[in-house]
């Protein structure tokens, strides 16, 4: 079954319960391929992706994410990292504090949408202690962890639990 883009966008929900089945390597590679094709300022691509399957490391990340233990229950976690100085070399503070975060956010969203299209569940996790995440992954100093994305097959039917403010409430036609 192929889904059109609006179906994928609306089907994506945050999944916090996963089956233990591993995510096949071919699917992992498709998620990473989706990530690297995200739009990014000046095509600088200020990002690195850590693909974590080791259980001790997944547990470490769950603890670093303010003990959000559901993270460790996913068989795979992708940690999206920004390279602020790579952006800063081209764009100064705007690159360091804005573009590299926007670029990595776009990459993270691509991962979420690709995962949805592939029948996988994800959750964007942003609440974490950066230094602790750094320790779990032994990250070099020039990388800043931006998003932790647990990935796996959803344990339950993925039905939407959240609503949105309407287009009328948030859009302005000028």
Ligand X SMILES: Cc1cc2nc3c(=O)[nH]c(=O)nc-3n(C[C@H](O)[C@H](O)[C@H](O)COP(=O)(O)O)c2cc1C
Question: Rule CB under 6 A: which residues touch ligand X?
Answer: 13-14, 16, 68, 123-127, 162
CA distances from 32 to 13, 76, 79, 96, 139 (A): 19, 13, 11, 23, 19
Minimum CB separation of residue 122 from ligand X in Å reads 9
- Token pair for 114: 């690709």
Please list the residues that pair with 80 across neighbouring strands.
49, 147
What pairing do the DSSP bridges indicate for beta strands 144-152 and 121-122?
antiparallel
- Report the residue number whose CB is nearest to ligand X: 126
Closer to ligand X by Cβ: residue 140 or 150: 150
CB of residue 160 to ligand X, shortest distance in Å:
6
Task: Describe the crossing of helices 100-117 and 84-94 by its angle, rounded to 10 degrees.
Answer: 120
**Structural contact between residues 121 and 151, judged by C-beta atoms closer than 8 angstroms:** yes
Tell me whether residue 17 or residue 19 sits nearer to ligand X (CB atom): 17
Please state the closest distance from residue 174 (CB atom) to ligand X, in A: 27
What CA–CA distance (Å, rounded) separates 134 from 132?
5
Residue 96: CB atoms within 10 Å: 20
- To the nearest whole angstrom, how small is the minimum distance from the Cβ of residue 66 to ligand X? 7
Q: Which is closer to ligand X, CB of 119 or CB of 126?
A: 126
Measured from the CB atom, the residue of 137 and 147 that comes closer to ligand X is 147
- C-beta of 126: minimal distance to ligand X in Å? 3
Q: Which is nearer to ligand X, 13 or 106 (CB)?
A: 13
């Amino acid at each position: 079954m192929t889904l059109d883009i609006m179906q994928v966008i609306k089907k994506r929900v945050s999944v916090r319960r996963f089956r233990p089945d591993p995510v096949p390597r071919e699917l992992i590679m498709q998620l990473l391929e989706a990530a690297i094709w995200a739009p990014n300022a000046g095509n600088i691509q200020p990002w690195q992706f850590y693909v974590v399957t080791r259980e001790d490391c997944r547990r470490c990340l769950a603890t670093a994410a303010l003990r959000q233990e559901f993270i460790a229950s996913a068989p795979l976690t992708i940690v999206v990292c920004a390279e602020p100085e790579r952006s800063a070399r081209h764009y100064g503070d705007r690159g360091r504090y804005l573009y590299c975060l926007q670029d990595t956010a776009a990459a993270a969203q691509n991962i979420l949408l690709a995962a949805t299209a592939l029948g996988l569940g994800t959750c964007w996790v942003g609440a974490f202690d950066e230094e602790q995440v750094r320790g779990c992954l032994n990250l070099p100093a020039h990388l800043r962890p931006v998003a932790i994305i647990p990935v796996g097959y959803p344990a339950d039917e993925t039905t939407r639990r959240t609503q949105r403010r309407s287009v009328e409430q948030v859009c302005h036609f000028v």
